């Protein structure tokens, strides 16, 4: 609660706060109450992707009061085999048969008096859709997809600002925000990142013995060159989604890859957050807040001033200004413009010298050069 108040007092006047479960808010309902009173959005992680065998549930979202769903509402492939859930645990719930469970869960959570004004649904916007060959409830991919949209719309229409993982095109009419478009999950591709605890690339455990933000989210790590080239080299950026949906869907990173996570890429990611109108993503407890308070407040002041205008307009132009594509320009509406220089050298843009690893912001007749301090 104190951290929420400090964020507001520091000048962070807009934020979405995501909890990893609604149970956290049950344990301390004043957290959600305080966030809402400060005009922040706050919501739980929720999912209707996997369903586990009754009595053997390994996480709370895979547990449903209607235990008949495990046998009667799951997806079969064309060979009659049940499709397994996340990490090959349990089964996948058929979305067309999930709406009663969604309504029941929503009612149960709201019945505990928690003041959530937002919601995060995992997987529904990733594009993972199925044909279900179960004879009793044959379902096409189109029906599967529509059911995912329907359950997100149900939550949205209960006055919750809703988002999902992935944010693919088909979900843009329903969701307000999406995690994973700007930097997708990729730690699973490499054993050193995923499970080798002795490696400098290991992204960390899901557990913090002190009860704060887990090491997986707070530990700063380097990234191997092959992954840095694929996922972090600005020269490969093409903001196709932003050119269509900038004023419709707010996009950010997969939660594994917060703004500070990759130790030698922080400043350039901050540049990109301005250039492409991408909200910074932080995992905060009191320790992390004290560690990063200065760069967070400095960056928020610049980014938020830009984004509050950019988010209301279409991205109207994008260009690579150098052959190596390491100087880029974006434009929002008719007047708002950003030019990011990812190189080590100065770049001349319309008689303005942009230092290396800096961004020029042209807004309302003013020109500002921002060089992130990280």
For residue 374, the model assigns a pLDDT of 61
Show the tokens assigned to 269.
């990611």
State whether residue 234 is helix, strand or coil.
helix
C-alpha span between 234 and 225 (Å, rounded): 14
- Entry field: residues in the chain: 374
Q: How many other C-beta atoms lie within 10 A of the C-beta of residue 94?
A: 24
Q: What is the distance in angstroms between the CA of the first residue and the CA of the last residue of the chain?
A: 27
Are 246 and 313 a contacting pair, CB within 8 Å?
yes
Are 41 and 118 a contacting pair, CB within 8 Å?
yes
How does pLDDT run along the chain (374 residues), one tens digit per residue? Answer: 999 999 999 999 999 999 989 998 999 999 999 999 999 999 999 999 999 999 999 999 999 999 999 999 999 999 999 999 999 999 999 999 999 999 999 999 988 889 899 999 999 999 999 999 999 999 999 999 999 999 999 999 999 999 999 889 999 999 999 999 999 999 999 999 999 999 999 999 998 888 889 999 999 999 999 999 999 999 999 999 999 999 999 999 999 999 999 999 999 999 999 999 999 999 999 999 999 999 999 999 999 999 999 999 999 999 999 999 999 999 999 999 999 999 999 999 999 999 999 999 999 999 999 999 86
For residue 373, the model assigns a pLDDT of 83
């Amino acid at each position: 609660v104190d951290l929420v108040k400090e964020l507001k007092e520091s000048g962070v006047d807009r934020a979405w706060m995501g909890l990893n479960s609604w149970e956290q808010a049950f344990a301390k309902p004043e957290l959600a109450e305080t966030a809402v009173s400060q005009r922040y959005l706050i919501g739980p992680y929720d999912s209707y992707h996997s369903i586990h065998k009754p009595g053997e549930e390994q996480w709370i979202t895979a547990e449903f009061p209607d235990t008949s769903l495990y046998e009667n509402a799951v997806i079969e492939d064309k060979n009659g085999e049940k499709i397994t859930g996340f990490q090959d645990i349990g089964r996948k719930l058929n979305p067309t048969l999930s709406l009663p469970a969604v309504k029941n869960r929503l009612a149960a959570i709201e019945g505990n008096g928690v003041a959530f004004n937002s919601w995060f649904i995992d997987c529904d916007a990733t594009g993972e859709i199925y044909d279900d060959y179960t004879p009793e409830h044959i379902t096409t991919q189109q029906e599967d997809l529509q059911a995912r949209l329907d359950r997100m719309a149900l939550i949205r229409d209960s006055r919750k600002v809703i988002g999902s993982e992935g944010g693919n095109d088909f979900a843009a009419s329903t969701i307000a925000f999406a995690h994973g478009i700007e930097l997708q999950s990729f730690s699973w591709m490499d054993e050193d990142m995923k499970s080798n605890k002795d490696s400098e690339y290991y992204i960390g455990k899901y557990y913090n013995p002190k009860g704060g933000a887990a090491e997986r989210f707070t530990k700063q790590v380097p990234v191997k060159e092959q992954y840095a080239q694929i996922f972090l080299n600005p020269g490969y950026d093409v903001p196709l989604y932003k050119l269509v949906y900038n004023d419709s869907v707010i996009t950010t990173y997969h939660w594994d890859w917060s703004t500070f996570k990759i130790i030698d890429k922080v400043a350039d990611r901050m540049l990109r957050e301005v250039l492409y109108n991408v909200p910074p993503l932080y995992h905060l407890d009191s320790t992390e807040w004290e560690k990063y308070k200065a760069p967070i407040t400095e960056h928020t002041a610049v980014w938020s001033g830009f984004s509050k205008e950019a988010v209301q307009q279409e991205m109207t132009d994008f260009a690579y200004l150098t052959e190596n594509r390491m100087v880029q320009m974006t434009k929002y509406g008719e007047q708002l413009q950003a030019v990011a220089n990812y190189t080590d050298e100065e770049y001349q843009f319309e008689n303005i010298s942009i230092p290396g690893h800096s961004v020029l912001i042209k807004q309302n007749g003013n020109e500002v050069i921002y060089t992130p301090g990280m």
